[in-house]
Amino acid sequence: MALLMEKGSKPTTDSEVSDLEGIAALKQSTAVELKEQGNQYVKMGKKHYSEAINCYTRAINQQALTDSETSLLYSNRSHVNLLLGNYRRAITDAEEAIKLCPSNVKAFYRAAKASLSLNLLSEAKYFAEKGLELDSSNVELEKLVRQISALKMEQDKQQAEINKALAVAKDLVSAFGDRGLKMGKAMYRELTGLKKPVLDKNKIMHWPVLFLYAEVMYSNFIEDFCEMDTFSMHLDMMYSESSPPLPWDTENNYTREEIELYYEVGSGVCLPETKVLQYLLEGTAGANIECEKEEKDTSEHGFSRGDAITKWVKVHETRKLLDVIQEPGFIISEIPVFYVVSKRSSFYEKFKAGKWRLP
């Protein structure tokens, strides 16, 4: 009997040949029947989809049908997985169907639909266009190709914007390193927003700079302070005759001749490059990029304001911005911050003595 034959052996008698032919016919009949049952379950609706998948799987396992017929089984199972939202499985089944029958248009369509659902636009475009090559008049495939192409164009545009934002941010990080600048955490973002430095075509950096009047915590914001500019250039403009008087300076203490600029040292934390890059990407198309994490943030160092006495360093107005922010104790709090005090004000001695702290 054929059932007692060893695996891989060939039939030697008419009886064994007859038995094998009968088994093959039975398996083929079973596979066809399971396929029809699966089709019926699909028509019965979502509650029966799992039963449909079971039928198609059992039919495939019979290994009794031709490649073309088995391709239809995989394609049908792909269809049900697609309806259930099992998109990865739907793609896998569709690919198996295509391997068995490269002219299975429905398999290409289902692979494209599942890929689209996973936002795998390149893959979706490939499957849809291949299917359309086989059936150029297929309306559903034509519609799908147009939909995917539009989404792909938008995705490519977004990716280009992300790449541009990332390149700009990396250029800035590199420029910080070349200049030996130390970047720290933001202190006054509520006053400045997400303002950031920019590099011009000559690779010269332009900074947004915050001037804070420590006595009253009033601020002046300079959006474009070239790193090669001196402080006197901007102070002359701020205190020119055409500039309106400071509304709170009723005693007229803050005049061009009486003001001095300072920056704080001995406090703040230097950030590692990854965190600086994240800051530079905020508010851009690359804001959601996950920057590679360093094994150890050895770049973070400094003192908290509770650990050290506040020390103020006077800025000589004839110096350039770059020269000042390159000083060893200068930590840029996202943007450079300088404090304005008046020699004529009673607040001046308190400030110089280190008795005033940032609120």
Distances in whole angstroms, Cα of residue 280 to Cα of each of 186, 201, 211, 258, 317 = 12, 19, 21, 36, 29
Looking from the CA of 253 toward its CB, the CA atoms found within 13 Å total: 17
Instruction: Answer whether 187's CB lies under 8 Å from 333's CB.
Output: yes
Distances in whole angstroms, Cα of residue 231 to Cα of each of 14, 33, 219, 258 = 106, 88, 16, 15
Specify the pLDDT at position 269.
83
Specify the pLDDT at position 303.
40
Average pLDDT on 2-20 reads 56
Give the tens place of pLDDT for each residue, 115-149: 999 999 999 999 999 999 999 999 999 999 999 99
Q: Does the structure show a pLDDT above 90 at 90?
A: yes
Strands 337-342 and 205-213: what pairing?
parallel
Specify the pLDDT at position 306.
42
Q: Does the structure show a pLDDT above 80 at 1?
A: no
Res. 304 pLDDT band, cuts 50 70 90: very low
Which residues on neighbouring strands pair with residue 342, listed in sequence order? Answer: 259
